[in-house]
Amino acid sequence: MQIIGHRGARGEAPENTLGGFQYLHDLGIRAVEFDVRQLKDDTLVVMHDDNFLRTTSIDFDLYNCTIDDLRNYNQAAIWMDWQPQVTPTLEQSLNVLSEFSHLEVEVKAVNDLAAAERLIQSLHHALTGFEHNAVITSFDLKIHQALQQSNSPFKRGLLIEDESQEHAIEQALSFGCSRIGWMNQLATDAMIQATQAAGLKVSVWTVNDVERAKHLQACGIDGLITDFPTMMLQQLDLG
For 183, phi then psi, to 5°, come to -60, 140
Looking at residue 165, its pLDDT comes to: 74
pLDDT band at 238 (very low <50, low <70, confident <90, very high): confident
Confidence of residue 237 (pLDDT cuts 50, 70, 90): very high
Is residue 200's pLDDT more than 90? Answer: yes
Domain spans in the chain, listed from the N-terminal domain onward: 2-50+90-235
pLDDT above 80 (res 239) = no
Q: What is the mean pLDDT of the chain?
A: 97
Distances (CA, A) of 2 to 128, 185, 213: 23, 19, 11
CATH class of the 2-50+90-235 domain in this structure: alpha beta
First to last CA, the chain: 10
In whole angstroms, what is the distance from residue 121 CA to residue 133 CA?
18
| Torsion angle of C-alpha atoms 45, 125, 6, 234, degrees rounded to 10 | -130
